[in-house]
Structure 1
């Protein structure tokens, strides 16, 4: 061992190695193509497409579907607040298209599911009256829209005392009861999480 140590000392250089030089000839576009864009950039782009009324509805729905897949990751869901995306998502619920509303509710419901930070951030913009409006038996909402509203409520209210208090304050239980008293029996299956 001593001879190996002596040999390494004798054959090592006393010169201090210079730090590696940083390459400046790399194109960020190429790096993005190889590694892919960061999720936050993809989320911003998807929401921008979803908001762009000049695009056809199919492209906008696809953008929301892409966003929904991205917010399945809890870190990305939490980034919705940092990126200022909750309000624009909520604004999409005012779309004249039920399909756009359904897709926006799907994104929101996925983001808040089992995610206290996202639930708190979303509740801060007072979304419950809008969501509850889709449950009214007098509303001409589609079955898919009502189901996604229940999905979103389920994710928002689960294990969240503040959300339940806000739900009670806006008459959520009455709205839910009234929805059941109508002819919308399919809601029973969607609301089973509330029953347990």
Structure 2
């Protein structure tokens, strides 16, 4: 009976219900409104292009994305800026922030004012709050990807907005689930199409997106290979722009890593000629390092999987291009070249005589002398590590020569 009376009492006082429901939100509305302004601007979009309203996305070099906005100084103002840098995680977090940044006396005054509102006024205020909450709904990653993809499919979009859409995808496809959804949402086709865009920056970022999406992801690797993107990426590897060639090589490496079909397609597209071109013709150390790293990666995959099918790794002309890189004075590059030679030497398909014709033994000896003459103490420490690797490669080479001699006898 008591419960019945309680229910009856609640049902008979709708004004009280509205007061309870609206009170907390109304009290915080002035504070939340200030915080909400930036979020609403993002949700609604500003200007002609929706993508242009979200300038939080920024690309970074492979492996790492730029670490957010810089932190502000102390004080309440910096807290607001930090919250907006990444957005409030939920309406609840926004309300909690609003409570912590509100004046208790003003809240009390507003509470007294709410108690005096009529039922019609409360209903009106409740509607206003509901509309605000609808505006504050944060878009999902899928929603953001759809917007960026729609921008890429818009032929009348400016280059600036196209680049911004690609940068947003670069950030969004890093989680594997989002990368898996990229093709479902129709995103791979326009990104691959932009590999041949007349604008260098667009081509470069498109390759970057593909590399990021396919990294350690067999599903996306095969999707991109199926669209024939590899041939375009190999062509980009010859670019005179170092940044474009670097990003193309990054995408190729991610696309064919641990993927037999990808590696076979790479060879079919004469990717080895592109690698050799970089080793012989490029003067950019960063690009050379990436090319050498790819050689090591391909050789290690064959060693670990027992699969073969990349004959260029045993080609004497290609190997000479690799050995010649040891004469370029850069410790990091020399270390990477030694690692590549070490992996290639271990391949059963590689003959020690192939390296012998490249005068590997003499090159290793000269490198050892060079490493001993480094003047800087800091360099000498690193040089000692490189020299240890050099000795290991030299021993491996000599042992393989002896094995070949025994077989010949």
Give the TM-score normalised by the residue count of structure 1: 0.77
The CA RMSD measured in Å over matched residues stands at 2.4
> How far did residue 191 of structure 1 move?
2.6
| Structure 2 gap ranges (5+) | 5-126, 298-409
Indicate whether 1:119 and 2:218 are aligned. Answer: no
Question: 143, 152, 160: which is aligned to 2:251?
Answer: 152
Alignment of 1:12-23 (within 5 A): none
Q: Following the alignment from structure 2 to structure 1, what is the Cα–Cα distance between the partners of residues 272 and 216? A: 21
Note if contact 1:131-1:149 (Cα within 8 Å) is conserved in structure 2.
Answer: yes
Note if contact 2:278-2:288 (Cα within 8 Å) is conserved in structure 1.
Answer: no
More helix by share: 2
**SS of residue matched to 1:191:** helix
Question: Hey, what does 2:172 align to over in structure 1?
Answer: 70
- Structure 2 vs 1, CA of residues 168 and 108 (structure 1 numbering), >3 Å: closer, same or farther? same
Question: Hey, what does 2:290 align to over in structure 1?
Answer: 190
> How far did residue 59 of structure 1 move?
2.0
Q: Following the alignment from structure 1 to structure 2, what is the Cα–Cα distance between the partners of residues 52 and 79? A: 20
CA deviation digits over 1:16-60, x for unaligned, max 9? xxxxxxxxx977x954x4342222221121122234343332222
Note if contact 1:51-1:60 (Cα within 8 Å) is conserved in structure 2.
Answer: no
Q: Which of 1 and 2 has higher RCO (CA within 8 Å, sep 6+)?
A: 1
Question: Hey, what does 1:169 align to over in structure 2?
Answer: 268
What is the number of equivalent residue pairs in this alignment?
171
Indicate whether 1:181 and 2:280 are aligned. Answer: yes
Question: 201, 207, 211: which is aligned to 1:99?
Answer: 201
Q: Following the alignment from structure 1 to structure 2, what is the Cα–Cα distance between the partners of residues 80 and 69? A: 12
> How far did residue 12 of structure 1 move?
9.4
Tell me which moved more, 75-84 or 51-60. 51-60
Note if contact 1:154-1:191 (Cα within 8 Å) is conserved in structure 2.
Answer: no
Structure 1 runs of 4+ with >4 Å offset: none
CA deviation digits over 1:57-77, x for unaligned, max 9? 222211111111000011110
| Structure 1 gap ranges (5+) | 1-10, 14-24
Q: Following the alignment from structure 1 to structure 2, what is the Cα–Cα distance between the partners of residues 183 and 38? A: 43
Point out the structure with max Rg over C-alpha.
2
Give the TM-score normalised by the residue count of structure 2: 0.39
Indicate whether 1:128 and 2:230 are aligned. Answer: yes
